[in-house]
Structure 1
Amino acid sequence: MERQLLRRGLLAVALLLLAGCDNQPAKQNAGLVLEGKTMGTWWRASLAGVDKSRQNELRTKIQAQLDGDDRLLSTYKADSALSRFNQSRSTEPYAVSEGMSDIVTLSLRIGAKTQGAMDVTVGPLVNLWGFGPDKQPVKTPTQAQIDAAKALTGLQHLKVINQAGQQWLQKDLPGLYVDLSTVGEGYAADHLARLMEQNGIGRYLVSVGGAVVTRGTNPDGRAWRVAIQKPTDRENAVQAVVDLNGHGISTSGSYRNYYELDGKRLSHVIDPTTGAPIQHKLVSATVIATTALEADGWDTGLMVLGTEKAKQIAEKEGLAVYLITKEGEGFSTWMSPQFKTFLLSE
């Protein structure tokens, strides 16, 4: 998960510096800003009304929890829970945690609603194109290689079993490889928000990479302001600013995590249908949802679909969506009516 998420994580931190309370005058006991690394990206917690004497305690709790999430979801750690499932060649039910079950259940639901565009089984293709634990290829994969990897993918080959308080994953392809990096940040951000609540903190902005959750108000008693960046890797210019009002937000973009191969710019966003990086002009999809996990799942699926199909899905499902599309030398934007309710004027 680490290399795949790094650029996206750096983007999110840059935005939060603008979105949080850091540009406000310092106030005694107004709050804390804590940050660190996890999953190959950055986490950040802006906490209002929290005394600075708690910073070491809270930082330790946050880091320990996020390290646990990484041990659950990482495809880079051979001993993570997900890696052990991927390494297993058994097609019998495989016992997993409730958290893992929840993530895969939501991923399968969004996958079905996006006609397979959001597919957590595309791990073989992610690895083939060099966006997983494997090294980047030195030449473009052949169609035969792509077809072989595609043969090991498909949401229909994965299911979740819940029975008597126990959860299992089951695959009917021994070589099925699940990659949850597309929803890992959202899950960890929601988990971090729950940790704040458990520690008596009700006013916060927390993020893991590109996934953000807020609750309450900032130290000045105003809405937490979260920015969506313009789609470029050369500047941190703001495209739009929103007040999440207790919701989660996640952005998927094709303009940060990429590399050049055989004269082509290849995005980390893989289309399960073609088995190759996306080629359309949608460069950013932002989703606001009840949880960051749900937002993180939808933004990936919409990025794969492209602008027009993404609009159709957003309208059909009533999603709060903001799309940025490359148009000639510039960009065009589109937002659903549900997204407009979160928008703040600069």
Structure 2
Amino acid sequence: MPWILKLILRLFRPAGILLCLVLTACAESGEDHLTWLSGATMGTGYSVKIVDLPARIDPEVLDRDIARLLEEINGLMSTYQADSELSRFNRNKRTDWVSVSTEIVKVLEEAQSISRLSKGAFDVTVGPLVNLWGFGPGSYTNEIPSRREMEAEKERVGFKQLQVRHSPPAVRKKRGDIYVDLSAIAKGYGVDRIAELLEAQGIYHYLVDIGGEERIQGHGPEGAPWRIAIERPVAGERRVQRILELDSGAVATSGNYRNYFEQDGKRYSHTLDPRTGWPITHKLASVTVVDATAMRADALATALFVLGPEEGLQLAEQEQIPALFIIKMSGRFRERATRSFTKIRSWDLREKESF
């Protein structure tokens, strides 16, 4: 099957509907030897594509192992599951050290690192503000909070109010009502864990995707590099802006063109600036980051998106982060890329017809 058709099938499936609901798993053609597994997780879907799956590995068993792994991660990090480890920590009002899993510590250590790098533009304690704006679990208000409500919730936000200890693994709040939300980094972590599971079984040619966060290794079908689509950030449409060609690494995109509400003709994005408590208002439509791990790419994409087209690009250049910024200006999209991003082979499809 031609690679561009596979791209269309992957990118333009209806939202919330997976092409392989169960394990249809299957070599798409005798030449490609492509195994495709997929399912639902983290409020979205996952997809795992493997080239030349070793004959000793039963794809049905591998599919169950992946599903079980993702269930475990949800059981640790979901704010939508009342019995998850993170939900229990959020309900705990103690301000002394609370023992947590090594997995939670690993994700929080990376999150805190990105928070320091971005000077608070990325902040996993932003949850109270996310909930206040109606973008959190079970809260769909589509109303602008009052200034008094905003100021009250901002007191509970600030990554410096959270301490993380590696050994023994534990976390401490400086305020008992701190609320941690890992939604901007947990999908990337899940992608990395699946990649680790695959490589532990001797699988080295794969593409793993959870909700658009992806990790790639080796070659794709027909021995070609994997080709990753960057979506054009247009609400209500599914178009490709650019295609990347990679043989390793991870890709994550953050944008404001899917989850938002409008009031009095103004759009309010689900992406909040933790430093102000307000949805971002700049003209940046999306940021795509390429990194070694999906967890870091996931968090960096959010941080750079919050920072905006000027400050975000400056930080990305300073840190040599491969990043593509898509900015909406006068009804058109303008690309700005870091020098390290321009070294990645890619194709610009902006002038092409939509599929």
Q: What is the TM-score with the length of structure 1 in the denominator?
A: 0.90
Q: Which has the higher relative contact order, 1 or 2, with Cα contacts under 8 A spaced 6 or more apart? A: 1
Cα distance in structure 1, aligned partners of 2:81 and 2:256: 25
Give the equivalent residue in structure 1 for 2:114. 110
- Is the 8 Å Cα contact of residues 32 and 51 (structure 1) preserved in structure 2? no
Moved more, 50-59 or 224-233: 50-59
For 1:269-318, what per-residue CA distance to the aligned partner results, in whole angstroms no more than 9, with x for missing partners? 00112201111110101111110001011111111111000111011111
Give the equivalent residue in structure 1 for 2:225. 223
Alignment of 1:272-283 (within 5 A): 272-283=274-285
Cα distance in structure 2, aligned partners of 1:71 and 1:167: 17
Secondary structure at the residue paired with 1:149? helix
**Residue of structure 2 aligned with 1:44, choices 42, 47, 50:** 47
Cα distance in structure 2, aligned partners of 1:345 and 1:326: 20
Pair 232,147 (structure 1): closer, same or farther in 2 beyond 3 Å: same
- Is the 8 Å Cα contact of residues 258 and 268 (structure 1) preserved in structure 2? yes
**Residue of structure 2 aligned with 1:33, choices 32, 36, 49:** 36
- Measure how far apart 1:31 and its partner are: 2.1
Cα distance in structure 2, aligned partners of 1:179 and 1:152: 13
Which segments of 5 or more consecutive residues in structure 2 lack a partner in the other structure?
Answer: 1-7, 15-24, 349-355
Pair 328,143 (structure 1): closer, same or farther in 2 beyond 3 Å: same
Pair 270,120 (structure 1): closer, same or farther in 2 beyond 3 Å: same
Secondary structure at the residue paired with 1:323? strand
**Residue of structure 1 aligned with 2:259, choices 257, 260, 270:** 257
Q: How many residues are matched? A: 329
**Residue of structure 1 aligned with 2:211, choices 204, 209, 214:** 209
Which segments of 5 or more consecutive residues in structure 1 lack a partner in the other structure?
Answer: 1-10
- The answer on 1:154 being equivalent to 2:151 is no
Moved more, 92-101 or 291-300: 92-101
Secondary structure at the residue paired with 1:130? coil
- Is the 8 Å Cα contact of residues 114 and 301 (structure 1) preserved in structure 2? yes
Cα distance in structure 2, aligned partners of 1:271 and 1:221: 42
In structure 2, give the amino acid aligned to 1:198: A
Moved more, 44-53 or 319-328: 44-53
Alignment of 1:121-132 (within 5 A): 121-132=125-136
Structure showing the higher helix proportion among its residues: 1
- The answer on 1:340 being equivalent to 2:338 is no
- Is the 8 Å Cα contact of residues 120 and 179 (structure 1) preserved in structure 2? yes
In structure 2, give the amino acid aligned to 1:133: P
- Measure how far apart 1:262 and its partner are: 4.7
Secondary structure at the residue paired with 1:334? strand
Q: What is the TM-score with the length of structure 2 in the denominator?
A: 0.88
For 1:133-172, what per-residue CA distance to the aligned partner results, in whole angstroms no more than 9, with x for missing partners? 1322253100000111101010110011122xx2111111
- The answer on 1:88 being equivalent to 2:92 is yes
In structure 1, give the amino acid aligned to 2:347: S
Cα distance in structure 1, aligned partners of 2:12 and 2:323: 18
Secondary structure at the residue paired with 2:246? coil
Give the equivalent residue in structure 1 for 2:352. none
Q: Percent identical across equivalent pairs?
A: 37
Give the equivalent residue in structure 2 for 1:194. 196
Pair 213,119 (structure 1): closer, same or farther in 2 beyond 3 Å: same
Cα distance in structure 2, aligned partners of 1:91 and 1:225: 47
- Measure how far apart 1:55 and its partner are: 2.3
Pair 319,151 (structure 1): closer, same or farther in 2 beyond 3 Å: same
For 1:246-266, what per-residue CA distance to the aligned partner results, in whole angstroms no more than 9, with x for missing partners? 111100010011122454321
Give the equivalent residue in structure 2 for 1:237. 239
Secondary structure at the residue paired with 1:273? coil
CA-based RMSD of the aligned residues comes to 2.2
